[in-house]
A and B are shown apart, each in its own frame.
Chain A
Amino acid sequence: MKSHTAQRTLLQMAAATTIIAGVLFSLTPIIITLPLAFVDQVFLGLPSGTLTGKWFARLNLPMWRQAVGTSLLLAMSSSAIAVFLAALAAYHTIIRPRTSTSGLLRSMIVTVLIVPPIWIGTGILRLAGEDGALGLILPHALLGLPPAFVCVWYGMSRLNPELIQAAEMLGASHWAILTRIYLPSIRTYVVAALFVAFLTSWDETVFPLLLTGPETHTLPKTAFETMRLDRDWTVAAVNFVTVAALSMILYRVLKNADESLG
């Protein structure tokens, strides 16, 4: 028993060290960069200098307005498409788990997840050429589909099968089962799917750099280019606003997901 206590203490110390190290490694870079939205600094270093609101004011410039607007439009439309298609794919693989079509869908989803996005971008660039922001919606939806599928499929697979059997016996169609039983019952997972698909598009840099011309601005592209040319911390101002909003959504999603796991 004495050795059990010693082992427990050792494991607890190891656990505490891991938690502290993990949290520090994850959070410190963010804690450092968040104040950069409020300081007058044009170099890459710890935040210093006088307080300023100029990075927030720069959000009014046409280039940044277009970048934020385009990225929002892209992220919202592509995540809606990704989640719609993910729900269809998840439903198909749930109701026909051992068919070749389900196997093919799963294989393609995994393949899109693991191949480098630049490889897909090379193909789109060659076949479709450079296009404006609208040309990015489907490529972004493609990248958002795998993580959205994982969320929706996970939610669907946890649903009580008796509910579905009851609906089938009462004569419900596939569409009714999907839209009136599955999706309302797995709201949390659908929100999580929308969230991850939105973030996938919001953060995506390769496709905008590759597939759009100089007149099209998305947030990652503009931030990447302006940060390289002149340390423009407007992206920190945008980020400050989005972090506040998205953290609240993330907290709700995690809270609900954790509760449903028990």
Chain B
Amino acid sequence: MHPQSQLGNRTPFVAVSFLLPALLLAAGLAAPLIAGILDLATLDSRAVHAQSRILAAVLSRTVAFAAISACAATLTAWTFALAIDSLNVPLRKALLTISVIPVVVHFLLRTYGLHILFGPKGPINAALMSSGLVQNSVPFTYSAAGTCLALTSWLLPISALFMHMAVRHVPSVLYDAAHSLGASPWATLKTVSLPQTFPAALLLFALNFALGYGTYLSPELLGGLEDVTVVRLIAQMLREGRSAEAAWFGTIATAIPVTLFVILTKVRSLALEQLS
């Protein structure tokens, strides 16, 4: 950790290094709050009350989609990072590059790729039907499954990179100690690799949840008509000119990922304390 700088605390540059980024960040975060306050007077409370059940259903559905996708992406990335860590350096680098390549492909195309792959006439359904596992095509697209698939696919590349960094940070002395004590590969995994990388996995889950919760394209392109998420609903409200409702509902909905993130980072801090 870097020591506190010995240069003057009150130099203009220190103030500028805080003020410039803070100004942009504060403006971005304050804008929807101010909009919500300005529009509060025009908000039709009876209309909101009448829709409260729909809004609650949308919120719980979005939480479920985000949780499932974040869990799938985090677990896959965690396993992937642990798996490639045991490989030789060139192979590890190649696999890491391959796993991260999707981030450079436009997300719209990736989603359409999933659509083709998992669609009713796609190769996955064709393989399932020809193997006799299912009689009719499985509705992977325009469904809840489609939303989760698209979200997981979107979250996975960055998750793999994140967990790779976490796995590479485990002190090698711990593996050496486990090896010299005669620990089996499974015991080393259970007592060194997993506990050491658990705090990072927890943080990744929290981030993935928030990102999955707030994304627009995947649920819009691969979700069904019944699978409206928070962001799709806000977009619909804005299209219909219901900006007051959009601002109000957006603020309520935003509290969920923020609260979950705060709770999970506290749990992560406790896990880190236990490790040290």
**Contact surface of A with B, Cβ cutoff 8 Å:** 3-4, 7-8, 11-12, 14-16, 18-19, 21-23, 25-33, 44-46, 85-86, 88-89, 91-92, 94-98, 101, 104-105, 108-120, 122-128, 138-139, 141-142, 145, 156-157, 159, 161, 164-165, 168, 173-175, 177-178, 199, 202-203, 205-206, 209-210, 219-220, 223-224, 227, 235-236, 238-239, 242-243, 246-247, 250-251, 254-255, 258, 261-262
B127 within 8 A of A: no
Q: Is the CB of B101 within 8 A of A250?
A: yes
Q: Is the CB of A26 within 8 A of B157?
A: yes
**Which residues of the other chain, B, contact A15 by a CB distance below 8 angstroms?**
79, 82-84, 86
| Set A22, A31, A250: member contacting B80, Cβ < 8 A | A22
B238 within 8 A of A: yes
**Contact surface of B with A, Cβ cutoff 8 Å:** 1-7, 9, 11, 13-14, 16-18, 20-22, 24-36, 38-39, 76-77, 79-80, 82-84, 86, 89, 92-93, 95-117, 119, 121-123, 153, 156-157, 160-161, 165, 168-169, 184-186, 189, 206-207, 210-211, 213-217, 230-231, 234-235, 238, 243, 246-247, 250-251, 253-254, 257-258, 261
Whole-angstrom distance from the CB of B102 to the nearest CB of chain A?
5
Having A22-B160, A45-B119, A220-B106, one finds 14 other A-B pairs with CB under 8 Å, namely: A22-B99, A23-B99, A86-B21, A88-B18, A96-B4, A105-B22, A114-B214, A116-B231, A123-B247, A142-B25, A174-B13, A175-B13, A205-B107, A258-B89
Bound-complex Cα distance A205 to B269 (A): 34
Q: Which residue of B lies closest to A262 (CB)?
A: B168
**Which residues of the other chain, A, contact B93 by a CB distance below 8 angstroms?**
254-255, 258
Q: Is the CB of B2 within 8 A of A116?
A: no
**Which residues of the other chain, A, contact B11 by a CB distance below 8 angstroms?**
173-174
